[in-house]
Amino acid sequence: MKIAFAARSAVCAIALTLGGCATLPASFTTENVMKLHDGMGSGEILRMFGTPKNVSQTVCGANVGRTWNCTTWEYGEFPDRASFTFRTDDGSLVLNNFDVHRDGRTLPAAFTTENVMKIRQGMGSDEILAMFGAPRSVRQMVCGTKTDNPWSCVTWDYGDPPHGSASFMFSLHRGSLVLNNFDVRK
């Protein structure tokens, strides 16, 4: 399932990068991270982010009942890090899931009571982005693995416990990321 971010155009206007003294390469800009989606080829990831620091191969998919060999690329070091897990599709590595994490201990100032009270299920990712800015971390994975219909979901995180945190989980609906659930802890 290809996940395309509806907020892509809004993100292009954001001139933020992902961290000041980060260990991630400078290519991990907000714009590049928000372009990530399931199904991207490994060549595109290499062009966007450069050569990974670590590469490993293992068996994935045990939690969904269908195993396959997967390859994982890692960039950066704790606390600023990224991982991309690929499946093999006709001999090519294709992005299956990803996790980009940067240090961000406190919630952005935009997490006011007024803004938090505006959050509701069904909002688009572009609305969350406009209200709170770029997330600290973005990850895609398979959700609903214990159901008959697992789906790809994307999670955005802001802040870090115990300094206040927020998590927004989106699913793809008619080509857009739509808010499924959220958790804000101040």
Q: Where are the domains of the chain?
A: 8-185
DSSP 31-90: HHHHT--TT-BHHHHHHHH-S-SEEEEEEE-GGGT--EEEEEEEEEETTEEEEEEEEEET
Distance, in Å, from the CA atom of 86 to the CA atom of 38, rounded to the nearest integer, reads 9
What confidence tens digit (pLDDT) does each residue in 121-171 have? Answer: 999 999 999 999 999 999 998 888 788 888 889 999 999 887 889 999 999
Within 8 A by CB and 6+ apart from 125, the residues are: 5, 6, 7, 154, 156, 168, 170, 176, 177, 178, 179
Q: Choose between 95 and 162: higher pLDDT.
A: 95
Task: Look up the CATH number of domain 8-185.
Answer: 3.10.450
What confidence tens digit (pLDDT) does each residue in 19-38 have? Answer: 344 588 999 998 899 889 88
Record the pTM. 0.76
pLDDT at 146: 80
Within 8 A by CB and 6+ apart from 109, the residues are: none
Distance, in Å, from the CA atom of 29 to the CA atom of 125, rounded to the nearest integer, reads 18
Is residue 173's pLDDT more than 80? yes
